[in-house]
Structure 1
Amino acid sequence: MKVMKLLEQFLEKSTLVGNENRLVTTVDFQNDFKREDYEYIHLPGLNIFLDKQAGEAGIRRALIEADYAIAETGSVVIDSCNENLRLASCLAEKLDVVFPLSKLVDNMHDVADFLEERTSESGGYVAFITGASRTADIERVLTVGVHGPKEMTVIILNDL
């Protein structure tokens, strides 16, 4: 039941930052998936790709697969050494992130080996994304989407 406790914690933290969260089976996800809804797709676990380089107009909607998710913070972890993937995750107006439940870990220490492997010698780039970008100016005026997506949906594949 540890997985269910981690899932509950992840959903709580992810919802706090304004994410929409969905728990679906892999089969249901594949049946409901519509390629035409996205301008960029990077789902290596399902072998589905639609590559596009983000230009000045950015990307309306992107769908990417996370390498890990962290229950403690509600964050997803993405190996973003691919430049188009990195741009899509930062410039998409709406970002949908998919990960299998088996990739949900307790805290950041649980991805330390992954970080070391991906960033040590190759000069890799790993992103931690918790939700839509939010920033405020000195007058406390909140702006959403300046440094990343305006909306984020997390799709958790119940593969257990």
Structure 2
Amino acid sequence: MNKLELFLDKSALVGNENQILSADEFKNLLGKESFEYIDVQTFSKLKDIQAGEAGIKSALVEVDFAIAETGTVVIDSCNENKRLATCLAEKLFVVMPISKLVASLNDVADFIEERTADMGGYVAFITGASRTADIERVLTVGVHGPKEMTVYILNDL
């Protein structure tokens, strides 16, 4: 199984929607969808908001890395608004250029060390919608993060 197949398998296991798109298809999608927060460096798109009491309905962010063995995306979250958007958005959409897909956690160790060497560094690992259960095993989705996650995989960058 190659890295992309493994990522898709692991990501789908936790309920994520995964879409493989070309850069042109993604640009068209950007023009049609309305996201409250956007941070996509590859396409020079930034729409910054501060999270209020109502929260954030949808956020779109570009990943720094994606880990195939777990279906996890890695995001440098030093920017407070970005950190809040990825944690508070009901629907989190992430953009993953295929070039940012690595095989394992070991492949992002240097990135993590570099970003967290300063005491103000934050790196988020997001595998899917937040899930938690109480002592009676009642499952609740979206308490500590998004309720839904969609991964846009860009195959031609």
How high is the TM-score relative to the length of structure 1?
0.94
Q: Does 1:131 align with 2:128?
A: yes
CA distance in 2, matches of 1:100, 1:49: 17
Q: Deviations over 1:26-52 (max 9, x none)?
A: 111002223651100000111001000
Q: CA deviation at 1:159?
A: 2.0
Which stretch of structure 1 is more off in the superposition, 114-123 or 132-141?
A: 114-123
CA distance in 2, matches of 1:32, 1:63: 12
Give, as a single letter, the amino acid of the residue that structure 2 aligns with 1:51: D
Give, as a single letter, the amino acid of the residue that structure 2 aligns with 1:88: A
Question: Which aligned pairs between 1:60-139 and structure 2 lie closer than 5 A?
Answer: 60-121=57-118, 123-139=120-136
Of 26, 33, 38, the residue aligned with 2:35 is: 38
Give, as a single letter, the amino acid of the residue that structure 2 aligns with 1:26: A
Of 54, 57, 73, the residue aligned with 2:54 is: 57
Of 139, 149, 154, the residue aligned with 2:151 is: 154
CA distance in 1, matches of 2:29, 2:145: 26
- The verdict on how the C-alpha distance between 1:58 and 1:110 changes in structure 2, with shifts beyond 3 A counting, is same
Aligned-pair identity in percent equals 69
Structure 2 residues without counterparts, runs of 5 or longer: none
Structure 1 residues without counterparts, runs of 5 or longer: none
Alpha-carbon RMSD across the aligned residues, in angstroms, is 1.3
Give, as a single letter, the amino acid of the residue that structure 2 aligns with 1:156: I
CA distance in 2, matches of 1:10, 1:127: 17
CA distance in 1, matches of 2:56, 2:32: 14
Count residues with an aligned counterpart: 157
